[in-house]
Structure 1
Amino acid sequence: MGKLSGRRQRLLVAVVAFVISAVATIVATDSPSAVAPSDSAPGSTSSAPAPAGGESGPAAAQASNGRQLHIGIAYGDTLTWKSDKDLAIGLDDAANSGAKWVRVDLSWKNIQPENSKHYEWQRFDRVVKAARDRKLEVLPTIAYTPAWARKAGCQGDDASCPPADPALFAAFAEDAAQRYAPMGVHTWEIWNEPNIPFWAPKPDPAAYTKLLEVTSKALRAADPKAYVLMGGLAAVGTNPEKAYVSQTDFLTEVSKLGANRMVDAISYHPYTYPDLPSARTTYGTAFEQISTAKDNLVAVLDKYGTPDLPIWLTETGAPTDGPGTAADGKSNAADTATHVTEEFQAAIATDTIPASAANRHVEAVFWFADQDAGTDKDRAHRSLFYGLRRYDGSPKPSLDAFGSAIAAYEKQQKQQKQ
């Protein structure tokens, strides 16, 4: 990916309003996917075709002129550990921004840390209840094997080691669906980024497909309304040295085994910084690799018989800190490929909504994350600085920008329907 100087970032921020206006015009005139938001969600029964897996159950709600764009915030495994006060602040950020969804980790190792007979649901119960009290839809990502269920000799940590027996993982998923379906949770993502070493020690399309097969069946057996997502694919290039398999190569391999017919949608994580999501480039940003770049996800789905399988962007965003970043968050570093300024993060947050809506294959988009997980001493770890808020809880410009982008999108859809 190319690099942008701090000066170019500032220039892009200055013209981003014009970019957004142009994208909005595309959404309003050319895209069949731009429709009014609705309280209906995957799991409701209105206008819902059967899941790709062939079971009875709904797909995402659709308006008459195309798919609805579901908008949310992805929190990872943070909300379960927050105080009641901080949990409320985090979920209020989603509700107040106009987002209707939250994506949270349903960590197997947190729920069954000791063995298959002992459960500790209470922390996740609290998150689901608080989200539903705010009329937020919950997307749990089921992953993260406890030590007792890991493959023997796995050298990864317990966040990445796959289960020794996929049936045990599926049994846990079935328990979760039985518990949370009555609370209105019907949408499930199975694992996170299985095309990089989040599946340790390296990606294994055949093993992941087996896990997906037994788990999707278990979820649908427990809840006929279950809507199942393939685990979010990281936007990377194939690199054997890093044990990376590109999103298209991995999707090709699992689709050969039928995985695309086991799910209702696939998930993808298109981080584009230092480019805007709507950027058009010669090398193809992660957003372009959804459907317009030479190597793209929709082409793979088309090849294996599911060209209209929806794509959920269950993570996207940009970090505002990194090596060499100034203490105030206004980058003075030359290497802006590792992070962006807070102002440019806000521009990316603004652009993410119309860029997602403009692609008819995209059904949902989630911003990662709500709050930074690191302080100045952690500056070298860019993964800790994706938040709409800083570590101390103070808002970044992106928090207002994200909410304003959602409001502009909703206003435009209402005008379009009139």
Structure 2
Amino acid sequence: MIEAAMIWNEPNNKSHWDIEIDPDWSQFAEMAIVAADAVKDANPDIVTVLGGISPIDPLFIRNMQGKGVLDHVDAIAVHGFPLDWNLWQIGEWPQRVDEIKALTHLPVWISEVGVSTFGAEEVQLWGLRRTAELLKGRAPRIQWYSLFDLPQAWGATTRHREAEGSSYYRHFYMGLIREDGTPKPALEEFALHTPEFGICQWFHFEDPRLDEAVTWLRRLGVRSVRTGLSWADSFRPDALAWFDRQMAALEDFDVTLTFCFTPEHRGIAPHHTSPPLVKEEFAAFCATMIERYAGRATTRMRGVA
């Protein structure tokens, strides 16, 4: 059920990695290397992916290349939201992907692409159609973010939250399905682009939307799903019971499992964006989850990277 392990999420975004503690990403690079190696030791057939970068920054990839990270992963991933957060137009998507491809022989995945309905639901519909025109056939994995709107009461994982103005509130409108469970206009259009388009859907700890999500994914013809298991959540009571339930629900899909979020008590700073005190502890978490949910080896996903 697990095709790939993604090492962290958006490491070049300060909402996900503390660049004040690690300004040149040396600690991130060391952590990513030991984690990717641990995943391969646990199951050599799992595709290891460098955490999807946002913004799409060739200089960050060069940095990772210089620090040896690209020698330890099978693929690179990028995230793009030109109609919401990025400072470039949607028609530049092919150029942005090609800029990263030019730096390495590694495949480049698009593990998050999406359009919010913050301004208007019609914008998302148009943006999805245009994204499909621009990106189909350009990456081994294209995963739309996301299936569900983020509930208003939950809060988005960003650094400055409401101080970001409209940039913050767009996080709550990225889904193809509204918070009340009703479809948006783009949902029907999305079904025309599966299975080539997959879904990126984050599930919160003991997320009540899990079963509903699986029903929708099957109905839409989705094959590839990107989600995450939080290292921080692993210290909660009954964490394994929740992880087991989440993974069992997704067993019919090709899952990219993202590992991220530092437990407060295991970070240099008490925050989920902090580099860990002991990088090998994060690596051990990754390996344990792969062994639990992917076993020692499979061959069904050869060629994905």
Q: Does 1:369 align with 2:278?
A: no
Identity among equivalent pairs (%):
6
Looking at CA atoms only, which structure, 1 or 2, has the larger radius of gyration?
A: 1
Backbone CA RMSD of aligned residues: 4.3
Give 1:250-289 correspondences, 5 Å limit: 250=178, 252-258=184-190, 260-261=192-193, 263-272=196-205, 275=206, 285-289=208-212
1:138 aligns to what? 76
Please state how far the C-alpha of 1:344 moved relative to its aligned partner: 2.0
User: Which of 101, 106, 120 is equivalent to 2:49?
Assistant: 101
- The 1-side partners of 2:264 and 2:10 are apart by 11
User: Could you say which structure has the greater relative contact order, defined with CA pairs below 8 angstroms and 6 or more residues apart?
Assistant: 2
- The 2-side partners of 1:141 and 1:85 are apart by 22
Q: Does 1:123 align with 2:57?
A: no
Please state how far the C-alpha of 1:269 moved relative to its aligned partner: 0.8
Q: Does 1:69 align with 2:3?
A: yes
What SS is found at the alignment partner of 1:76?
A: coil
Give 1:208-247 correspondences, 5 Å limit: 208-220=124-136, 223=138, 226-233=140-147, 236-237=150-151, 244-245=172-173, 247=175
| Shift in CA distance, 317/85, structure 1 to aligned 2, threshold 3 Å | closer
| Shift in CA distance, 178/220, structure 1 to aligned 2, threshold 3 Å | farther
Q: Does 1:393 align with 2:277?
A: yes
- The 2-side partners of 1:128 and 1:206 are apart by 40
What SS is found at the alignment partner of 2:85?
A: coil
| Shift in CA distance, 176/211, structure 1 to aligned 2, threshold 3 Å | farther
| Shift in CA distance, 142/372, structure 1 to aligned 2, threshold 3 Å | farther
What SS is found at the alignment partner of 2:197?
A: coil
What SS is found at the alignment partner of 2:250?
A: coil
- The 2-side partners of 1:86 and 1:270 are apart by 24
- The 2-side partners of 1:376 and 1:96 are apart by 20
- Gaps of at least 5 residues in structure 1 are 1-33, 35-67, 112-120, 146-150, 152-159, 276-283, 320-339
Please state how far the C-alpha of 1:362 moved relative to its aligned partner: 3.0
1:317 aligns to what? 230
The one-letter amino acid of 2:253's match is V
1:249 aligns to what? 177
- Describe the superposition over 1:249-274 as per-residue Cα deviations: whole angstroms up to 9, x where unpaired: 256431233465174211111122xx
- The 2-side partners of 1:258 and 1:246 are apart by 13
| Shift in CA distance, 106/73, structure 1 to aligned 2, threshold 3 Å | same
Give 1:154-165 correspondences, 5 Å limit: 160-161=84-85, 165=89
TM-score by length of 1: 0.49
The one-letter amino acid of 1:249's match is I
- Does structure 2 conserve the Cα–Cα contact (< 8 Å) formed by 1:209 and 1:254? yes
Aligned residues: 263
Q: Does 1:166 align with 2:98?
A: no
- Does structure 1 conserve the Cα–Cα contact (< 8 Å) formed by 2:5 and 2:257? yes
1:185 aligns to what? 107
What SS is found at the alignment partner of 1:139?
A: strand
| Shift in CA distance, 258/83, structure 1 to aligned 2, threshold 3 Å | closer
Please state how far the C-alpha of 1:167 moved relative to its aligned partner: 1.7
| Shift in CA distance, 208/74, structure 1 to aligned 2, threshold 3 Å | farther
- Gaps of at least 5 residues in structure 2 are 41-45, 154-168, 299-305
| Shift in CA distance, 86/106, structure 1 to aligned 2, threshold 3 Å | closer
